[in-house]
Structure formats: structure tokens, C-alpha cells
């Protein structure tokens, strides 16, 4: 099964990014393909590498970056949502980039499922 993920909340404020991550991990483990993670609303904040959480906490952005690189999917932040929130190309995690909502539409069209996580 090919799965797209739409993530609509930023890290830490809400559990959405954690749930999406745990789901993606499990789906990959079970032999499914994560095609892309599209970030919308405050979800775009998941893609900045400037986050520096305390040592004993998870690093949400770094974790997405590692999973994306290991399994060959992209973390895509919506350009309009990013511009509003000061998220730019220079801030992107490895494996992350900024793109338009048209890409989300393509993700919705080409995958067996589009799962939304958010508040």
C-alpha cells in the first residue's frame, strides 16, 4: 500500500506529529510505502532544523529527517503556510523541502491512502 501523510500541527504543542511518525514507522515495518509527508498549517514547523529540544526529549524534526532519508520519501512544507510562519528553504531539515499545494493534490491522487494528522 502507498500512503501519503498530511500533517497539520507543529511539533511538541500537539501529539499529531508523534502519532504520524509512529504510524509511518509501523507502516514501513509492515512493508508499506510512505510516499511523502506534506506539512500544512503549523505543521510546517516540523521541517525546521533550528529546533534544539533538551537532551532527554525526542527531536521531532531530526527524527522525520532520518526516517525520510532512510526510506526515500520527502518531507514537504507548503510554501504559503511556510511563508506565513517564517519557514524558509535555508531552515529545512535534510530530506525536507518547500513546495506548493499542487504537490499535495498529486499526493492525494497517486496514493492508496492520504492520512491526516492534526489537532
Of the residues 24, 39, 60, 78, only one is catalytic, namely 78
CB of 115 to other proteins, least distance (A): 5
CB of 38 to other proteins, least distance (A): 10
Residues in the interface with other proteins (CB under 8 A) total 34
Q: How far apart are CA 95 and CA 30, in angstroms?
A: 22
Residues 13-42, mask of contacts with other proteins (x by CB under 8 A): --xx--x--xx-xxx-xx-x-------xx-
Residue 78 falls in the annotated catalytic set: yes
Residue pointed to by grid coordinates 535555508: 90
Longest CA pairwise span in the chain (Å)? 40
What is the side-by-side strand order in the sheet with 96-99?
A: 96-99, 74-78, 33-39, 2-7, 113-117
Site for other proteins in 39-58 (CB under 8 A): 40-41
Does position 79 interact with other proteins (CB under 8 A)? The reply is: no
Give which of 13, 9, 73 is closest to 37, Cα–Cα.
73
Does position 117 interact with other proteins (CB under 8 A)? The reply is: yes
Amino acid at each position: 500500500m502507498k500512503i501519503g501523510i498530511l500533517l497539520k500541527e507543529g511539533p511538541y504543542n500537539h501529539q499529531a506529529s508523534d502519532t504520524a511518525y509512529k504510524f509511518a514507522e509501523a507502516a514501513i515495518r509492515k512493508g508499506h510505502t510512505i510516499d511523502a509527508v506534506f506539512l500544512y498549517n503549523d505543521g510546517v514547523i516540523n521541517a525546521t532544523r533550528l529546533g534544539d529540544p533538551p537532551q532527554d526529549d525526542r527531536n521531532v524534526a531530526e527524527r522525520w529527517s532520518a526516517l525520510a532519508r532512510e526510506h526515500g520519501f520527502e518531507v514537504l512544507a507548503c510554501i504559503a503556510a511556510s511563508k506565513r510562519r517564517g519557514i524558509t528553504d535555508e531552515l529545512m531539515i535534510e530530506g525536507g523541502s518547500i513546495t506548493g499545494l499542487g504537490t499535495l493534490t498529486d499526493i492525494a491522487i497517486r496514493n492508496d491512502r492520504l492520512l491526516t494528522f492534526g489537532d
